[in-house]
Structure 1
Amino acid sequence: MTARHNYGKLTIWKDDISIVKEAYSTTKKFPKSEVYALSSQMQRCSISIPSNITEVTSKGTDKHFLQYLETTLGSASEWENQLIILFEIRYITEETFKHL
């Protein structure tokens, strides 16, 4: 099967890889008690964003393409929710919150 797009050339994919890097960099600073909670959740939802973009580029129909984009949007919303929680419980500063 031929991919519809080369995901490695997509700006959105590159931006999403940056999100993953930021997630790991940020979660390294969390308390050890969060390793299996917020840290893990934030890492997993950040990884799913570029992973879904990668997967969507191989879908053969517009219906599948749109379905995976909706899944990607859901992961991005989850990422945003994690950031709100992290800011509210003061694991990240307002500056970091706005940056991410």
Structure 2
Amino acid sequence: MGYVQSYRDLDVYKLAKTLSANIFELTKRFPKEETYSLTDQVRRSSRSVGAQIAEAWGKRRYEKHFISKLTDADGEQQETQHWIETARDCSYLADEDAVTLIEKYTQLGKMIGSMINKYTSFCGKRN
């Protein structure tokens, strides 16, 4: 693995961005009456994961801020899982799509957790 120069180089960020795009495409099929509720909620939380990872990267000089932002990212991915389950329960998502997304978000959560546990690899003084 080469040196990471930007949050865009992080596999965890790339996965978050891909999943957010997947959520966007799948929610296009949600009923119109969900536009300002479930559709907005799941899109917002899925997009927030990558944004929180990007913010964590920007604050990595400060361990507590880095961990806090990654904790927020983990909370957003868990919220997204909740909305995926809600969409499945409402029959807006097929079981297979919901299961696949939840598995991928679980993997994303593990990656975020690993970054939190290995914060010293990311944090510290930079020139």
What range is the shorter-chain TM-score in? over 0.9
- Say what the alpha-carbon RMSD is for the aligned residues: 1.2
Q: Given residue 17 of structure 2, which amino acid in structure 1 is its aligned partner?
A: I
Deviant stretches of 4+, over 4 Å: none
Q: Deviations over 1:11-37 (max 9, x none)?
A: 000000011101110110011111101
Say yes or no: does 1:12 pair with 2:8: no
Please give the residue correspondences for 1:1-100 in structure 2 after superposition, counting only pairs within 5 Å: 6-59=6-59, 60-100=61-101
Q: TM (normalized to structure 1)?
A: 0.92
> Using the alignment, how far apart are the partners of 2:89 and 2:5 within structure 1?
39
Q: TM (normalized to structure 2)?
A: 0.73
Percent identity over the alignment?
28
Gaps of 5+ in 2: 102-127
* Number of the residue aligned with 2:122: none
Displacement after TM superposition at 1:5 (Å):
5.3
> Using the alignment, how far apart are the partners of 2:14 and 2:69 within structure 1?
17
Query: Which structure would you say has the larger Rg?
Result: 2
